[in-house]
Amino acid sequence: MKHSTPSPSDRSGWSPRRITLSAMLAALALIFSYIEVIFPFYTGIPGVKLGLANLVVVVALYKMSPSYAVTINVVRVLMAGLLFTGLFGMLYSLAGSICSFLIMYLCWRSGLFSVLGVSLAGGVFHNLGQLAVAAFAVSNARIFLYFPVLIFSGMAAGIIVGIGSHVLISHLPDQIFRRY
């Protein structure tokens, strides 16, 4: 049987199989976001969450590609904003997730960091992105005085997510993520 020439989308890695897998991973990340809305991890510190959805993003970064990971992340943030947090929550989360993803991508791309290091950096920079939006919203840079508290929470969340991501990356079969 003769095979047809792959379409341009198939050659770039955006095959129907990978798009479907991305949609399923975005849905899983959305479920993790919902779990955090229903069962918040009370720390007594405002704005501190574990960031379970970032497990999916880190796994996608390592097992798929940066373009899939960022797409999954943005889709999850937009859907969670529409369903759970509203417009302002979406803006804070989007700023945090973009900031987080950029630093995770740079750390991953450099090859100098483990999965744990990539996730840890993402946890810290997520908080930085959210503080930047908050400082802009209230027109007061003094809100960054809260950043030292958030550094530690971002590190803790990043380590937990990094350990979980490492376990998943090591144990998930590569066949799930193949391009065709």
Span 19-24, average pLDDT: 94
CA angle 91, 69, 180 (to 5 degrees): 145
pLDDT of residue 8: 43
Among 71, 67, 58, 60, which Cα is nearest to 126's? 58
Whole-angstrom CA distances from 89 to 37, 127, 136 are 12, 13, 14
32 contacts 55 by C-beta, under 8 angstroms:
yes
Predicted confidence (pLDDT) per residue in 67-125, tens digit = 999 999 999 999 999 998 889 889 999 999 999 999 999 999 999 999 999 999 999 99
Burial zone of 89 (CB within 10 Å; 0-12 exposed, 13-18 middle, 19+ buried): middle
pLDDT attached to residue 36:
85
Q: Residue 47, by phi and psi: left (phi above 0), alpha (psi -120 to 50) or beta?
A: left
Name the more confident of 43 and 17: 17
Range of 24-28, 39-43, 49-53 with top mean pLDDT: 24-28
Cβ-proximal residues to 5 (8 Å cutoff; 6+ apart), any chain: none
Q: How far apart, in whole angstroms, are the C-alpha atoms of residue 33 and residue 44?
A: 19
CATH code: domain 14-177 is: 1.10.1760.20
115: its two tokens: 């999965």
Q: What's the average model confidence in pLDDT over 26-50?
A: 81
In this predicted structure, what is the pLDDT of residue 5? 39
Domain positions in the chain are 14-177
Query: What's the mean pLDDT when you consider all of the chain?
Result: 87
Longest dimension (CA), the chain: 67
**Residue 18's pLDDT is what?**
86
Query: What element of type H or E holds 25?
Result: helix 16-38
Confidence of residue 46 (pLDDT cuts 50, 70, 90): low
pLDDT digits (tens, 9 = 90+) for 130-178: 999 989 999 888 888 888 888 998 999 999 999 999 999 999 998 888 7
Out of 4-8, 48-52, 58-62, 118-122, least confident range: 4-8
> CB neighbours of 116 closer than 8 A, spacing ≥ 6?
158, 159, 162, 163, 166
What confidence tier does 11 reach under pLDDT thresholds 50, 70, 90? very low
